[in-house]
A and B are shown apart, each in its own frame.
Chain A
Amino acid sequence: MEICVAVDYLSVKFDEFLALDNISFKIPEGAFLAILGPNGSGKSVLIQTLIGLITPTIGKIKIFGENPSSLSPELVGYVPQIKTLDRTFPAKSIELVLTGIYYKWPWHIRKKERQKALQALEEVGASHLAERSISKLSGGELQRVYLARCIMRNPRLIVLDEPATGIDITLAADLHHILENIQAKNRTTIIMATHDLATASHHASHVLLLNRRLICFGKPEEALKEDCLHQTFGHAGHRH
Chain B
Amino acid sequence: MDLSFIQRALLAGLFIGFLASFYGVFVVQRQLSFLGSGLAHAAFGGVALGLLLGIEPLWIAIPFTILVAIGIISVQEKTGLTGDTAIGIFFSVSMALGVIFLSLKKGFAADAFTYLFGSILAVGIGDLWITGIFAIITIFMWRFWGKWSYATFEKDLAITDRIPVKRENYLLNVLIAIAVVVSIKVVGIVLIAAFLVIPAATARLLSKTFSIMTLYSIFIGILSTFIGLWLSYFLDLPSGPVIILIQASLFFGSILFKNQSI
Type the 1/0 row for B147-175, where 1 means its CB is closer than 8 Å to any CB of A. Answer: 10110111011011111000000000000
A88 touches B29 (CB 8 A): yes
Decide: A103 and B210 in contact? CB cutoff 8 A: no
B212, CB-defined interface residue at 8 Å: yes
Contact A73 B210 (CB under 8 A): no
**Distance to closest chain B CB from A180 (angstroms):** 24
- The answer to the question of B103 belonging to the interface, with a C-beta cut-off of 8 Å to chain A, is no
With A90-B208, A107-B211 as known contacts, state yes or no: A53 contacts B154, CB within 8 Å. Answer: no
Alpha-carbon distance between A108 and B212 when the two chains are bound, in angstroms: 10
Question: Would A89 and B153 be within 8 Å (CB), given that A105-B146, A133-B208 are in contact?
Answer: yes
Q: Encode A69-90 as 1/0 by CB contact (under 8 A) with B.
A: 0000100101010001110111
How far is B209's CA from A107's CA once the two chains are assembled, in angstroms?
A: 9
Interface 0/1 of A50-80, CB less than 8 Å to B: 0111000000000000000000010010101
When C-beta atoms are compared, the residue in chain B nearest to A48 turns out to be: B156
B153 touches A78 (CB 8 A): no
Of the candidate stretches A2-10, A26-34, A91-99, A204-212, the one touching chain B is: A91-99
**Considering the chains assembled together, what is the distance between the CA atoms of A161 and B249 in angstroms?**
44
Inter-chain CA distance A85–B204, complex, in Å, is: 17
* A104 interface residue (CB < 8 Å to B): yes
Take A105-B149, A107-B145, A107-B146 as given contacts and tell me if A85 and B209 are in contact as well, using a CB distance cutoff of 8 Å: no
**A25 at interface, CB cutoff 8 A:** no
Q: Are A73 and B209 in contact (CB under 8 A)?
A: no
Residue-by-residue, is B194-230 near A (CB-CB < 8 Å gives 1, otherwise 0)? Answer: 0000000000100111111100000000000000000
Partner of A51, one of B145, B160, B207, B212: B160
Assuming the contacts A105-B153, A107-B146, asked whether A90 and B160 have C-beta atoms less than 8 A apart, the reply is no
Q: Are B211 and A103 neighbours in the complex by a CB distance under 8 Å?
A: no
Q: Give the interface size bracket for A toward B.
A: 20 to 34
Please name all residues of chain A whose beta carbon is closer than 8 Å to the beta carbon of B147 when the two chains form the complex.
104-105
Roughly how many angstroms separate A103 CA and B158 CA in the complex, as a whole number? Answer: 8
- Whether a CB of chain B sits under 8 angstroms from the CB of A106 is yes
In the complex the two chains form, what is the Cα distance from A107 to B152 in whole Å?
14
Q: Shortest beta-carbon distance, A169 to chain B, in Å?
A: 27
Q: Which residues of B contact A90 (CB under 8 A)?
A: 204, 207-210, 212-213
Q: Is the CB of B159 within 8 A of A104?
A: no
**With A73-B162, A104-B149, A104-B163 in contact, do A86 and B154 touch (Cβ < 8 Å)?**
yes
The answer to whether A86 touches B156 (Cβ under 8 A) is no
Chain A residue numbers with a CB within 8 Å of B211 are 106-108
Judging by beta carbons under 8 Å apart, are B160 and A53 in contact?
Answer: yes
In the assembled complex, the CB of A45 is this many whole angstroms from the nearest CB of chain B, namely 13
Given contacts A52-B159, A53-B159, A89-B210, contact A99 B150 (CB under 8 A): yes
A80 and B204 form a contact (CB under 8 A): no
- The distance from the CB of A103 to the nearest CB of chain B, in whole angstroms, is 5
Q: Look across to chain B and name the residue whose beta carbon is closest to the beta carbon of A52.
A: B160
Given contacts A52-B159, A76-B160, A105-B210, contact A91 B150 (CB under 8 A): no
Check A104–B209 contact: CB distance below 8 A: no
Residues on B with beta carbons closer than 8 Å to the beta carbon of A95: 209-210
Of the candidates A88, A92, A105, which one forms a contact with B150 in the assembled complex, judged by CB atoms under 8 Å apart? A105
- B152 close to A89 (CB less than 8 A): yes
On whether the beta carbons of A104 and B154 are closer than 8 Å, the reply is no
Contact B154 A84 (CB under 8 A): yes
Q: What B residues does A103 contact at CB under 8 A?
A: 150, 161-163
Give chain B nearest CB distance to A49 CB in angstroms.
Answer: 12
Query: Whose C-beta in chain B lies nearest to the C-beta of A135?
Result: B208
Tell me, in angstroms, the Cα distance from A6 to B153 when the chains sit together: 31
Residues of A within 8 A of B149 (CB): 104-105
Chain A residues positioned under 8 Å from B162 (CB to CB): 73, 103
Partner-A contacts on B (CB < 8 A): 29, 145-147, 149-150, 152-154, 156-157, 159-163, 204, 207-213
21 interchain pairs (CB within 8 A)? Answer: A48-B156, A52-B159, A53-B156, A78-B157, A84-B156, A86-B154, A89-B29, A90-B209, A90-B212, A90-B213, A95-B210, A99-B161, A104-B146, A104-B149, A104-B161, A105-B145, A105-B146, A105-B150, A106-B146, A106-B211, A133-B208
The 6 closest A-B pairs by CB, nearest first: A104-B146, A105-B149, A105-B150, A103-B161, A73-B161, A89-B153
